[in-house]
């Protein structure tokens, strides 16, 4: 079967690899109809996160069940399903508490497993024609309709980006009336803005420097902030300072809350320096924007191993943080891999009810064979490449 295979720094290729098959009676075999490229895949593509040359890649997967093992009872051949990028067993201490991102069973070497990803166990990647689904009853999210229908590009976002972005708003404690600032207008940042909108946030700012990405967030009622135009902290404070409704409702002391209550980092460790985008500065995102008593959700990825870290500590995932200031402000900070299964059923139902259409972030539907070119352009955030969905069935 054909799959996207990692060939070394900034190189992927389409190769024939061993056909996926049912190996245990709890498995299913899935024929893949959509597989998305994720910002997380770029950490491996860029050679920052170690990944074996020759291994297949990809963790955002949906398709149609081809066959199931003898112990699978909830899912059958012909079902259309989306897979959470986390592979859970469903029964361990963590899975049973809705932390399937930290399954204790599925990764022999660590906590938490996933498809085709560095450090997340021995599983094949899903940018391929077929995939083996471990613990199929637990991991398959059933969706209605037929492959390639108008919902396909909404459903594929249930594999990672929409639940991950929603989780970011949970970490940042976004609720009715919240003021929210999101660093990064990539797929995760944009859907964190959509999730904040769904939760009823009053002000939503999204920070980036890629014009077409910033343009898109206007469509969901968020305010774009281009960090090339100056410090985003100052820009947001300035907008709030010149808003007469905000100023007109302030009592003495309220000026001590010039920023927002909820901050989301949807960039991660490959964050560009706002003053000089040619260099990286991973710790600037947790800065002075969040008000006392607020919360920060760090959903952008960080790693204890970064082969290209800016300095020796960064190579080990060690960064300088204003810890004293965070403590003085009483900020909460949430981090980590999103537990997709906690939210994917609910977000699917929002999509089905017509109350959320996350597919506005999708910019390219392409055949599997287009992956090498699509990786290269997405990596440069060039030519509008924001969210690419590979379609193994599509003719090249
Ligand atoms: N926690 C999880 O479970 C999880 C799941 C999926 C993705 N992620 C992570 O989320 C992050 C975003 O991924 P993505 O898919 O949205 O794609 P992406 O990498 O394209 O998005 C990142 C965006 O951040 C912008 N950016 C860079 N430096 C910035 C800065 N200083 N300030 C503001 N914006 C800046 C980039 O221009 C880009 O648009 C990645 O680190 C990815 O690994 C985490
Ligand atoms: Zn992903
Ligand atoms: Zn488990």
Nearest ligand to the CA atom of 84:
2
Check residue 285 and give its pLDDT.
Answer: 60
Check residue 323 and give its pLDDT.
Answer: 86
Nearest ligand to the CA atom of 183:
1
Per-residue pLDDT of 213-259, as tens digits, reads: 999 999 999 999 999 999 999 999 999 999 999 999 999 999 999 99
Check residue 341 and give its pLDDT.
Answer: 98
Q: What is the DSSP string of 232-279?
A: HHHHHHHHHHT-HHHHHTPPTTGGG--SEEEEEE-S-TTPBPSS-TTS
CA of 378 to the centre of ligand 1 (A): 12
The partner residues of 68 in beta bridges, in order of sequence, read: 28
In the chain, which residues fall in CATH 3.40.50.720? 165-335
Closest ligand 1 atom, CA of 168?
A: 1
Distance between CA atoms of residues 67 and 22, nearest Å: 8
pLDDT at 307 over 90: no
- Ion ligand 3: residue ranges with CB closer than 5 A: 88-89, 92, 95, 103, 105
> H-helix or E-strand containing 291?
strand 290-298
234 CB burial (10 A radius; 0-12, 13-18, 19+) = middle
Ligand 1 neighbour 216 (Cβ under 6 A): no
Measured by CA distance, the residue closest to atom 36 of ligand 1 is 184
- Whole-angstrom distance between the N-terminal and C-terminal Cα of the chain? 16
Check residue 281 and give its pLDDT.
Answer: 77
Task: Say whether domain 2-160+339-391 belongs to CATH 3.90.180.10.
Answer: yes
Ligand 1 neighbour 116 (Cβ under 6 A): no
CA of 291 to the centre of ligand 1 (A): 23
CATH topology of domain 165-335: Rossmann fold (3.40.50)
Residue 137 φ/ψ, nearest 5 degrees: -60, -40
Residue to probe by mutation, ligand 1, list 36, 44, 184, most atoms within 8 Å of CB: 184
> H-helix or E-strand containing 60?
strand 60-68
Closest ligand 1 atom, CA of 268?
A: 41
256-295 burial string, b = 16+ CB within 10 Å, else e? eebbbbbbbbbbbbbbbebeeeeebbbebbbbebbbeebb
Per-residue pLDDT of 4-15, as tens digits, reads: 999 999 999 999
Check residue 277 and give its pLDDT.
Answer: 79
Higher pLDDT, 209 or 284: 209
Distance between CA atoms of residues 345 and 360, nearest Å: 20
Nearest ligand to the CA atom of 301:
1
- Residue 279 contacts residue 270 (beta carbons within 8 Å): no
In the chain, which residues fall in CATH 3.90.180.10? 2-160+339-391
Per-residue pLDDT of 322-368, as tens digits, reads: 888 889 999 999 999 999 999 999 999 999 999 999 999 999 999 99
For residue 63, name the pLDDT band (cuts at 50, 70, 90). very high
Check residue 310 and give its pLDDT.
Answer: 85
């Amino acid at each position: 079967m054909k799959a996207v295979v990692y060939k070394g720094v900034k190189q992927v290729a389409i190769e024939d690899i061993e056909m996926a098959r049912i190996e245990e009676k709890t498995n299913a075999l899935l024929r893949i109809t959509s597989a998305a490229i994720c910002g997380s895949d770029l950490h491996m593509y860029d050679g920052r996160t170690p990944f074996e040359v020759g291994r297949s890649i990809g963790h955002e997967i949906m398709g149609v069940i081809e066959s199931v093992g003898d112990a699978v009872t909830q899912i059958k051949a012909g079902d259309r399903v989306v897979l959470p990028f986390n592979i859970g067993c469903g029964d361990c201490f963590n899975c049973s508490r809705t932390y399937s991102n930290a399954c204790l069973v599925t990764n022999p070497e660590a906590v938490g497993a996933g498809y085709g990803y560095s450090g997340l166990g021995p599983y094949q990647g899903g940018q391929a024609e077929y995939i083996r689904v471990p613990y199929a009853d637990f991991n398959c999210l059933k969706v209605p309709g037929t492959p390639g229908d108008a919902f396909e590009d909404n459903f594929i976002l249930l594999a990672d980006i929409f639940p991950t972005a929603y989780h970011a708003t949970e970490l940042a404690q976004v609720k009715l009336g919240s003021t929210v600032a999101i660093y990064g207008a990539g797929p995760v940042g944009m859907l964190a803005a959509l999730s904040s909108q769904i939760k009823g946030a009053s002000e939503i700012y999204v920070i980036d420097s890629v014009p077409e990405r910033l343009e898109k967030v206007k469509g969901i009622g968020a305010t774009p902030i281009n960090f090339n135009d100056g410090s985003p902290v100052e820009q947001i404070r300035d907008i709030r300072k010149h808003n007469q409704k905000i100023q007109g409702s302030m009592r003495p002391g309220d000026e001590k809350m010039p920023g927002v209550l909820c901050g989301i980092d949807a960039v991660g460790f490959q964050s560009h320096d706002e003053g000089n985008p040619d260099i990286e500065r991973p710790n600037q995102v947790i800065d002075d924007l969040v008000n006392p008593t607020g919360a920060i959700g760090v959903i952008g990825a960080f790693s204890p191993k970064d082969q290209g870290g800016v300095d020796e500590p960064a190579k080990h995932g060690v960064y300088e943080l204003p810890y004293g200031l965070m403590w003085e402000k009483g900020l909460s900070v949430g981090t980590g891999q999103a537990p997709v299964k906690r939210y994917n059923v609910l977000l699917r139902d929002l999509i089905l009810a017509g109350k959320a259409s996350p597919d506005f972030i999708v910019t390219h539907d392409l055949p599997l064979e287009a992956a090498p070119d699509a990786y290269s352009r997405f990596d440069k955030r060039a030519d509008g490449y924001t969210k690419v969905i590979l379609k193994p069935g599509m003719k090249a």
